[in-house]
A = this chain, B = another copy of it.
């Protein structure tokens, strides 16, 4: 383990960008490519938006926690809420599945495309934790 951080903030829409900037500045410490950085920002954006929109039903009173761990050639990102959780994670992760007609149901698909692995722990009524990992191309 090279470095880590933990960031907590209320479930307000403004903070999706805050999470993105912090994770990007953190990931930049191991000199990723621009595309790798874009991928990480995209994945964090999806997971944090989900915590706010679904986990807390757009209420600004929840707390979202984002953690990052940097290894020599990989990053792990954790996004956690103590919101309403999901009954069926498998179904939730299917492309184009959404419980909200205004949304695309592509959040988890994007996370899976952007990162090398995505796993989700969720307990109805207790909350959700998304764990994502990305390996960086070796250039050193």
A residues near B, CB below 8 A? 3-10, 12, 14-15, 17-18, 21-22, 25-26, 29
List the number of copies, as a whole number.
Answer: 2
Which of B3, B10, B22 is the one whose CB lies under 8 Å from A10? Answer: B3
Which 4 pairs from chain A and chain B are nearest by CB?
A21-B25, A5-B9, A6-B8, A22-B22
Contacts of A5 in B (CB 8 A): 7-9, 15, 18
- The DSSP consensus for interface residues of chain A is mixed
Q: Evaluate whether A3 and B8 lie within 8 angstroms (CB atoms) in the complex, with A22-B22, A25-B21 already known.
A: no
**CB nearest neighbor in B for A63:** B6
Whether the pair B14, A4 counts as a contact (CB closer than 8 A) is no
